Amino acid sequence: MPSPTRPNVARGFVVPIGGAERKKRNPLILERFVALAGGNDGRIAILPTASEMDDTGPRYVELFEDLGIGSAVSLPINQRAEAEDEGLIAELEEATGIFMTGGNQLRLSTILGGTAVAKTIRHRSAEGVTIAGTSAGAAIMPEHMIAGGTPGATPTPNKVTLAPGLGLTNALVIDQHFRQRDRLGRLLAALSYNPFMTGIGLDEDTAAFIGPDGVFEVVGSGAVTVVDPSKLEYSSMGQAMRGEPVSLIGLRLHILTHGDRYDTVSRKATAGS
């Protein structure tokens, strides 16, 4: 669950990115994240835990500094014991923005889940710090994380695997590389298990900038697919056998592009100007 905020303190933006975000030519998503993180006066802490490549963290440090952040630091956490390190916690406490890289979201959940680092990320979000994550770093943001699954547009009982996420939001379930990897079916399957949430599928180079009021704006070159199950009339998930298609009647679906908005509280979509 998200950490509670203090009186008169607005929760920070939560920014899931669909992966493969532009880094050099017209990097709209990362530029806006840098601005929210304080620009020249800011400090970004990077968590490359999902990646098994040694240069992932240093590459993002260089990238964010080139985009104008005051300073950036990579916090390589590869074992659960490291996620309890007081020095790393202190770096997160000093950060004005936190960024989780792509890779394998199960590495993130199994290494960070339940640790002091995970608790600090939730705490800092409640204090107003912007938390962004790309690909695996986006998937782990909600209370319920899509850990894996198979491609295809039709939901089946075995289409998706869920695991606990960081809990930065309990209103959404998030999937990434969405259109590129044909992941509508697994998002629908996840929602059939948890029909109180809204599902968002993020295309590559596309992000949802979720504000403290629960309204998000789409930024990037692709689309965000929003699936609203709040008026779901019927689901056959409880009766379907493994591999059988699942009936879902009464869903609402929106395709949102750059500048469009969605209110996760009222569940209303609006076109950008």
CATH (domain of 19): 3.40.50.880
Number of C-beta neighbours around residue 149 at 10 A = 21
Q: Mark whether 204 is an active-site residue.
A: yes
| Number of folded domains that form the chain | 1
5 domain-assigned: no
64 domain-assigned: yes
pLDDT at 1: 66
pLDDT at 6: 82
8 domain-assigned: no
Q: Which of 125, 204, 235, 254 is the catalytic position?
A: 204
pLDDT at 4: 83
- What token pair was written down for 179? 């259109």
- What token pair was written down for 232? 């779901």
Beta strand pairing call for 71-74 and 43-47: parallel
221 domain-assigned: yes
pLDDT at 79: 96
pLDDT at 2: 83
94 domain-assigned: yes
- What token pair was written down for 239? 């009766």
3-state DSSP assignment of residue 269:
strand
pLDDT at 93: 98
1 domain-assigned: no
Between CA 111 and CA 245 the distance in angstroms is 34
pLDDT tens-place values along the chain, 273 residues long: 688 888 889 999 999 999 999 999 999 999 999 999 999 999 999 999 999 999 999 999 999 999 999 999 999 999 999 999 999 999 999 999 999 999 999 999 999 999 999 999 999 999 999 999 999 999 999 999 999 999 999 999 999 999 999 999 999 999 999 999 999 999 999 999 989 999 999 999 999 999 999 999 999 999 999 999 999 999 999 999 999 999 999 999 999 999 999 999 999 999 997
Q: What is the DSSP string of 84-150?
A: G-HHHHHHHHH-SEEEE--S-HHHHHHHHTTSHHHHHHHHHHHTT-EEEEETHHHHTSBSEEEEEE-
Q: Which of 144, 177, 235, 254 is the catalytic position?
A: 177
230 domain-assigned: yes
Q: Which of 74, 135, 192, 235 is the catalytic position?
A: 135
Q: Mark whether 135 is an active-site residue.
A: yes
Whole domain around residue 77: which residue ranges?
Answer: 14-270
257 domain-assigned: yes
Tell me which residue has tokens 């679906």: 253
Q: Mark whether 266 is an active-site residue.
A: no
